[in-house]
Chains A and B, each alone.
Chain A
Amino acid sequence: AQSVAQPEDQVNVAEGNPLTVKCTYSVSGNPYLFWYVQYPNRGLQFLLKYITGDNLVKGSYGFEAEFNKSQTSFHLKKPSALVSDSALYFCAVRDADGSSNTGKLIFGQGTTLQVKP
């Protein structure tokens, strides 16, 4: 069964410092991985995805993620955190249900990122 885990409920970082939000996955077959961000009282916004190719994926708002097949990880990173990056971050993996038409996702439980001035 497909699954995704975010081992940290909360990550605290000082503004200007690099940040990492961790995600590990378990899939049968090729992994298709996504990161979303949710600001308070808002819907989720897509940040980036890994389908194939380069292990370093660049996304919106200066975020990037590193795919590591041997460690089954897809950690979200940013070189210099901003206070405005404070939000809830979700990692997700495509649910391989055998149908190529569906983009069903399985989400991690979320990690709250707190960036302090």
Chain B
Amino acid sequence: NAGVTQTPKFQVLKTGQSMTLQCAQDMNHNSMYWYRQDPGMGLRLIYYSASEGTTDKGEVPNGYNVSRLNKREFSLRLESAAPSQTSVYFCASSLSGRYNEQFFGPGTRLTVL
């Protein structure tokens, strides 16, 4: 099992460019999440998908969109990148329900110039 995979690992964008971060999991999890990690701020939830076909905003959704393509895949799109979106992005997945831990991908380090 690969667990949670993310592509790309690194990306540099210019302000105003767009890109899509890809995430896939092979654990048959229903729920998937996108976080951003900034120094001293922990992880903040951008969007999540409780199950296939549903997506909801998290704490910091502005400037992002998501697509739950199927049960395995959950992508994050930046339509017009801004320097404030420079961050490390993590995808995670979990079983449904309130008690289950999340499994994290290796992250994408994004720099917006």
Residues on A close to B: CB < 8 A?
9, 32, 34, 36, 41-46, 49, 51, 90, 94, 99-110
Contacts and interface: CB of A to CB of B under 8 A. Distances in A.
A105 B104 CA distance: 13
A46 B102 contact: yes
Shortest 7 CB-CB distances between A and B: which pairs?
A43-B104, A107-B42, A46-B101, A44-B104, A107-B43, A109-B42, A103-B94
**Which residue, of B42, B58, B100, B107, has the highest number of chain A Cβ atoms within 10 A?**
B42
Contacts of B103: 46
Contact of A49 (B44, B101, B104): B101
B45 A104 contact: yes
A32 B99 contact: yes
B17 interface: no
B106 interface: yes
A108 B107 contact: no
Contacts of B51: 101
B31 A51 contact: no
Interface in B40-55: 40-45, 48, 50-51
Contacts of B95: 103
B101 A101 contact: no
A55 to B, nearest CB: 17
A78 B102 CA distance: 22
B23 to A, nearest CB: 11
